[in-house]
Structure 1
Amino acid sequence: MAFKPQGIIPPVITPLTDSGEVNYQVLRQLVNHLIDQGVHGLFPMGTTGEFYAFDDETFRKILETVKEEAAGRVPVYGGANHITTRGAIRLTKICEEVGVDAVSVLTPMFISQSQDELYEFFKTIAESTTLPIILYNNAPKTNVTIAPATAARLAEIPNIVGIKDSTGDMTNATEYIRLTRDNPDFHVLMGRDTLIYGALCYGATGAIASCANVAPRIAADIYDKFVEGDLAGSLEAQYRFAPLRIACGMGTFPAVIKEGLVMQGIPVGKCLEPIAELSSEEKEKLRSVLGGMELL
């Protein structure tokens, strides 16, 4: 399969109105803002987009809105995350109908699968579609991990083209890279914003970076400068980017991301309950971080 996931891909937040409905006008504004700032792809309905909060009809409309507004300028990756295999296939079919460029599939949540069960889960989904599939390991959120050996097995399936590693474990990410380095059709994306430069050095092809919603140009610089051979510039961009990711620990994810965008004048609203708004003290700390990054 020719599709290559690469560059900085923000998992796009889902803007909401005060009543908790999707604000499609602001979503379009955000799509253009991110593309204008140099990101290399867009990923609606990931963890940062609160994928768990929306029914199928809203899921479809969010994907359609991002796809339409992107207008082919960058690839669009749809999140198809569900606790069951048939549920993930249903969402993947919606992604296929909308015409996204690739699908990211998270490990099932809540249940604790064996590695053989994970292999069959992803294999069955891949066989149900012609879309490129990106495996998504977010063990800190799901308590389920895709072992490097399992990823290497799955990489042999033609339309499984990559994996996003949000474990924060660089050894795990580098094992993905080491075990698949002879497979030119499989690619590793970093999913921890503080580790993008290091992952690129090992051979990752990019990152799905939540903080790129707020600091898209800085995030894009990590990748662009690295590709250009400006390693010092890439590393400096990584250092500039890191404080925002660290600040995300102040609230329940993705509250800091949304508040950061609001502070920049993009009215994305709050997260859906039970995720709480940042406290006044936390907001001041975040404002200080964004000011230090020259983002306000």
Structure 2
Amino acid sequence: MAFVPYGITPPIITPFREDGSVDYETLAMMSKRLVENGVHGLFPMGTTGEFYAVNDEEFVKILTTVKDAVAGMTTRKGRPIQLFAGCNHITTRGVIHLIHLVEQVGGYDAVSVLTPMFISQTQDELYTYYKTIADSTDMPVILYNNKPKTNVTIAPETVAQLARDCANIVAVKDSTGDMTNSEEYLRLTRDQRDHFNVLMGRDTLIFAALMYGATGAIASCANVAPRITADIYDKWEDGDLAGALEAQYKLAPLRIATNMGTFPQTIKEALVMQGLPVGKCLDPIQELNADQKAKLRKVLEDMDLL
């Protein structure tokens, strides 16, 4: 049976000090805190983790820090904590280089690969991109569609073809916010469910995606509200659909608040408000203004997160 990514996995933030260096001690603390509060996996070097801001040495040390921090920890049902590593680059060879670094670190269950940024690929080019990457490794590969950030989408038909042709492409994370797109991923790959699944990447749609057949979500807001976010999955898994939906409703205002400022600054400011010394995003991203900070604080207070 192929690896099945499931549950709630936060794309963990990367804490930076004022001088721009990575704060590995805070990263380790954050990793443990998230697992203690119920998440099912951790995903360093995603979009929320400012993957674009680190060099190879930092990349390796971040992955090692997260892995070591949660070694031996399990979910509420005693399952191992899943670990995904973001491997994102404009070029195919750049992604493959990062995957080789992940393989050297060891201990990671899958790699997540975003569509290339800046360049605008055809679907044929995207197919070849992902097929070449999958063929370069034995690791499970998660496709990552974040059209709002890259202006590139992986069409459902392309995802379905990749699922058929590549046994180690095990999932797609859909951050488009388009539920019809997610539904089409699920519908067109349902005959590949022995090895391929769908993960929701928009935090307001986790419950809906689970009901459609997704196996989990990669949820940025779980950095700030891990227990609330994990409740969506845990209650759904336990058959408490009303409880899962209520947790989804409770989480929604935080996800909507992340539209303030430049992503993922709102996530970091919320963590700072909670007393966690994660710093701000690297320049040129700036802090929220005073009015935005007041709105964010009110959201956190209403969610009982302060």
TM bin, normalised by shorter chain, reads over 0.9
User: 1:62 corresponds to which residue?
Assistant: 62
In the alignment, which residue of structure 1 is the partner of 2:145? 137
- Give the counterpart of 1:112 among 106, 120, 126: 120
Q: Which amino acid aligns with 1:164?
A: K
Find 1:272's aligned residue among 254, 260, 282: 282
Instruction: Give 1:72 deviation, angstroms.
Output: 4.5
Partner of 1:205: 215
Match status 1:94 vs 2:101: yes
Secondary structure of 1:8's counterpart equals strand
Distance (whole Å) between structure 2 residues aligned to residue 171 and residue 90 of structure 1: 34
User: 3-state DSSP class of the match of 2:42?
Assistant: coil
- My pick for the range that moved more, 68-77 or 255-264, is 68-77
Match of 1:121 among 129, 139, 145: 129
The 2-side partners of 1:35 and 1:169 are apart by: 29
Gaps of 5+ in 1: none
| Structure 1 residue 206, shift from structure 2 partner | 0.4
1:182 & 1:234 partners in 2: Cα distance?
A: 27
CA deviations 1:259-289 (Å, max 9, x no partner) are: 0111111100000001000111111110000
Compute the displacement of 1:2 (Å). Answer: 2.3
The residue number in structure 1 matching 2:78 is none
- Pair 1:288 & 2:298 matched: yes
Residue aligning to 1:177 = 186
Instruction: Give the match for residue 103 of structure 1.
Output: 111
Q: 2:154 aligns with which of 136, 143, 146?
A: 146
Task: Tell me the alpha carbon deviations over residues 47-87 of structure 1, each in whole angstroms, 9 at most, x when there is no partner.
Answer: 00000011111111100110111214311100000000000
- Separation of aligned partners in 2, 1:97 and 1:78: 12
Q: Secondary structure at the match of 2:199?
A: strand
User: Counterpart of 1:207 in 2: which secondary structure?
Assistant: strand
Is 1:233 matched up with 2:243?
Answer: yes
Aligned length: 296
Alignment deviations for residues 116-139 of structure 1 (CA, whole Å, 9 cap, x no partner): 100010011111111100000000
Identity across the alignment (%): 68
Partner of 1:16: 16
Runs of 4+ in structure 1 deviating by more than 2 angstroms, as ranges, are: none
Matched position secondary structure for 2:161 = helix
TM-score, normalization by structure 1: 0.99
Separation of aligned partners in 2, 1:180 and 1:238: 26
- Name whichever of 230-239 and 62-71 sits farther off: 62-71
Q: Residue 93 of structure 1: CA displacement?
A: 0.6
Is 1:261 aligned to 2:274, yes or no? no
Structure 2 residues not aligned, in runs of 5+: 74-80
TM-score, with length taken from structure 2: 0.96
Q: Matched residues in 2 for 1:169 and 1:284: separation?
A: 30
Q: What is the aligned partner in structure 1 of residue 89 from structure 2? A: 82
